[in-house]
Amino acid sequence: MEGTATNMLVGIVGPCASGKSTLGQALKARGLSVRQVAQEHSYVPRMWKLLTNPDYLVFLDASFEVSTRRKNLTWSEREYEEEQRRLSHARQFCDLYLMTDRLSPEEVLQAVLHALGLEDQSAQGV
């Protein structure tokens, strides 16, 4: 990969089961510096900025129905809504927002690489 994006810190936030860990692993495997911020568990709206201060913030989202199905979560819709409320500041200031309900992990990765101005060499057979 070429370009200054490889030198930046990418932050990833989103509700449980939105794909943060999967995306983080894929980006790290491509040599990017990545931090997954557990903003959904914090009462501090700017925690993502205070702890990580990423150069680029990716917000991955997932609906209540999809997130509970992906991870067999036994939480209530009210708990999901509280998590979404805690994420509102990060959502407001993210550089890229992706609803992952209908996207495969590879599609999420490609969307992020494209937004960062990086090509996925493995998709080109390189």
Q: Is residue 27 part of a domain?
A: yes
Residue 125 has pLDDT above 50, yes or no: no
Question: Vertex 91, ends 111 and 47: CA angle to 5°?
Answer: 115
Q: Is residue 35 part of a domain?
A: yes
Q: Report the candidate in 74, 55, 97 with the shortest Cα–Cα distance to residue 16.
A: 74
Cα separation, 37 vs 59, in Å, equals 10
Measured CA distances, 35 to 20, 28, 62, 68, 73 (Å): 10, 9, 19, 24, 23
Q: Is residue 93 part of a domain?
A: yes
Per-residue model confidence (pLDDT) at position 3: 44
Residue 110 belongs to domain spanning = 4-119
Q: Is residue 124 part of a domain?
A: no
Q: How many beta carbons lie within 10 A of that of residue 28, not counting itself?
A: 12
CATH number at residue 104: 3.40.50.300
> Domain tally for the chain?
1
Cα separation, 45 vs 88, in Å, equals 8
Q: Is residue 79 part of a domain?
A: yes
Q: Is residue 44 part of a domain?
A: yes
Residue linked to tokens 């994420």? 87
Mean pLDDT of 84-91: 91
Strands (E), 1-126: 9-13, 33-36, 56-61, 96-99
pLDDT digits (tens, 9 = 90+) for 33-84: 999 887 666 666 667 776 788 999 999 999 999 998 888 778 889 999 998 9
Residue 105 has pLDDT above 90, yes or no: yes
Q: Is residue 125 part of a domain?
A: no
The pTM assigned to this predicted structure is 0.85
